[in-house]
């Protein structure tokens, strides 16, 4: 049989199973907007790390101050900022007495900056519930915290993570983010976080709500102090310890402008894509080959003169669309018509993976917000 046809049949079978898995899985994911809020609950400590966030931190924290949940304290951690972030945080503290600001001037050995900031914030906090969130997240629904706590308590959870709506300005950035979420969904299978029998854990930096006791039991951020994907690893370690976890969407309640341009997206993913592939060249090559064969090749072979190859290519594209449609409708506020750009965005994502690996080796590590972290140490801590 034609080797190309064998490859395409293999890709078709893979997409058949992926499509079924994604549709079944995402159908089980609830929306936080469906949950009724609570009037009472324990003290909630919101910990926000901020490094050079002068453009976003005021709007982010101000959007949180109007929450209808009654018992909240904020720990805002200035992580060695070189812009006016420290002044912005000071002004916020004057605005509301529930806010405390912690300024960090140094990075301790063995730590990534954000992870250290989160840990230091926890050490200063008092709540039995802790929310780790980012300094660029907008809380658009004033009842999201009361909803989250109500769901948290009713389900007897140890950890709850919410997927925010991602705001993108340009067409190509929208397409790139949509493709990232598309691949993330069938690669990480976030719905498995809701299955107590599954070992799959999930964590998203925009909203990681955890009990103080569970956080301490997994070893706090000290356990993951050198991992750039700290948000995801927090959820992974929760599941490893056999604790109860849930993943919900919050597309209308939380909003984050993940990146402002395609160039910024490439730069931002430098720290995550190679880390997600365990700093392995073989895994990188496997991922790049897999993405090309599964999401680019069928759009090329559809123009083959071989009728059987054309038919199989069309079937693959239909299954890709079915999977893409479900992910985009469930995980974003974008149009499924972005599917039309999928082959190009797949190539852009392959480029971003290769770029991240190349720059990591060139620098001898990853650069994250002005600090370079050694690849040798990152690999060592990953094991």
Residue 381, H or E segment: helix 375-382
- Residue position matching structure tokens 């916020």: 92
Q: Within this chain, do residues 127 and 253 fall inside the same structural domain, yes or no?
A: yes
| pLDDT band (50, 70, 90) for residue 383 | low
Q: Are 22 and 186 in contact (CB under 8 A)?
A: yes
Q: Within this chain, do residues 230 and 357 fall inside the same structural domain, yes or no?
A: no
| pLDDT band (50, 70, 90) for residue 246 | very high
Residue at a domain's end among 226, 260, 294: 260
Tokens, residue 16? 């058949």
Query: Would you tell me how many other CB atoms lie within 10 Å of the CB of residue 105?
Result: 7
Q: Within this chain, do residues 11 and 150 fall inside the same structural domain, yes or no?
A: no
**Nearest by Cα to 237 from 159, 149, 131, 127:** 159
Q: Within this chain, do residues 158 and 203 fall inside the same structural domain, yes or no?
A: yes
Does residue 178 lie within any of the structural domains? no
Does residue 62 lie within any of the structural domains? yes
Encode pLDDT of 263-274 as tens digits: 889 988 877 787
Question: pTM (2 decimals)?
Answer: 0.92
Does residue 159 lie within any of the structural domains? yes
pLDDT score at 269:
84
Residue at a domain's end among 234, 260, 286: 260
DSSP state, residue 382: H
Q: Within this chain, do residues 82 and 202 fall inside the same structural domain, yes or no?
A: yes
| pLDDT above 90 coverage of the chain, percent | 81
- Residue position matching structure tokens 């840990």: 119
Tokens, residue 84? 């006016």
Residue at a domain's end among 260, 295, 310: 260
Q: How many folded domains does the chain comprise? A: 2
Q: Within this chain, do residues 192 and 154 fall inside the same structural domain, yes or no?
A: yes
Bridge partners of 103?
A: 78
Q: How far apart are CA 67 and CA 364, in angstroms?
A: 44
Does residue 181 lie within any of the structural domains? no
Q: Within this chain, do residues 112 and 212 fall inside the same structural domain, yes or no?
A: yes
Q: Which domain holds residue 54?
A: 30-170+188-260
Q: What is the CATH number of the domain that holds 196?
A: 3.90.550.10
pLDDT score at 35:
96
Q: Within this chain, do residues 234 and 376 fall inside the same structural domain, yes or no?
A: no
Q: How far apart are CA 345 and CA 309, in angstroms?
A: 23
Encode pLDDT of 296-354 as tens digits: 999 999 999 899 999 999 999 999 999 999 999 999 999 999 999 999 999 999 999 99
Q: Within this chain, do residues 17 and 145 fall inside the same structural domain, yes or no?
A: no
Encode pLDDT of 146-163 as tens digits: 999 999 999 999 999 999
pLDDT score at 381:
57
Q: Within this chain, do residues 218 and 289 fall inside the same structural domain, yes or no?
A: no
């Amino acid at each position: 049989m034609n080797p190309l046809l064998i490859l395409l049949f293999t890709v078709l079978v893979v997409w058949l199973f992926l499509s079924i898995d994604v549709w079944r899985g995402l159908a089980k994911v609830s929306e936080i907007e469906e949950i009724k809020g609570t009037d009472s609950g324990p003290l909630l400590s919101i910990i926000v790390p901020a490094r050079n966030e002068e453009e976003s931190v005021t709007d982010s924290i101000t959007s949180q101050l109007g929450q209808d949940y009654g018992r909240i304290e904020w720990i805002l951690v200035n992580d060695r900022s070189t812009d006016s972030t420290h002044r912005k945080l000071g002004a916020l503290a004057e605005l509301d007495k529930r806010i405390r600001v912690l300024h960090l001037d140094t990075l301790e050995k063995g730590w990534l900056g954000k992870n250290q900031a989160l840990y230091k914030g926890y050490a200063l906090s008092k709540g039995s519930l802790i929310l780790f969130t980012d300094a660029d997240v907008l809380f658009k629904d004033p009842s999201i915290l009361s909803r989250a706590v109500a769901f948290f308590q009713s389900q007897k959870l140890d950890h709850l993570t919410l997927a925010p709506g991602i705001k993108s300005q340009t067409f190509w950035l929208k397409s790139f983010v949509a493709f990232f979420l598309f691949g993330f969904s069938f690669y990480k299978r976030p719905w498995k976080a809701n299955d107590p029998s599954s070992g799959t854990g999930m964590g998203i930096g925009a909203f990681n709500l955890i009990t103080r006791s569970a956080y301490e039991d997994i070893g706090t951020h000290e356990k993951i102090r050198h991992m750039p994907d700290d948000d995801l690893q927090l959820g992974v370690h929760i599941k490893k310890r056999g604790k109860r976890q849930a993943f919900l969407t919050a597309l209308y309640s939380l909003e984050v402008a993940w990146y402002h341009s395609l160039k910024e997206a490439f730069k931002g993913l430098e720290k995550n894509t190679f880390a997600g592939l365990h700093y392995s060249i073989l895994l990188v090559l496997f991922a790049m080959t897999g993405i090309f064969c599964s999401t680019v090749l069928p759009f090329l072979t559809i123009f083959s003169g071989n009728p059987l190859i054309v038919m199989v290519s069309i079937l693959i594209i239909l299954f890709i669309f079915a999977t893409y449609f479900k992910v985009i409708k469930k995980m974003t506020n974008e149009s499924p018509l972005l599917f039309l750009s999928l082959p190009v965005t797949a190539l852009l994502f392959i480029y971003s993976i290769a770029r991240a690996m190349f720059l990591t080796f060139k620098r001898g590590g990853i650069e994250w917000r002005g600090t370079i972290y050694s690849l040798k140490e990152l690999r060592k801590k990953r094991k």
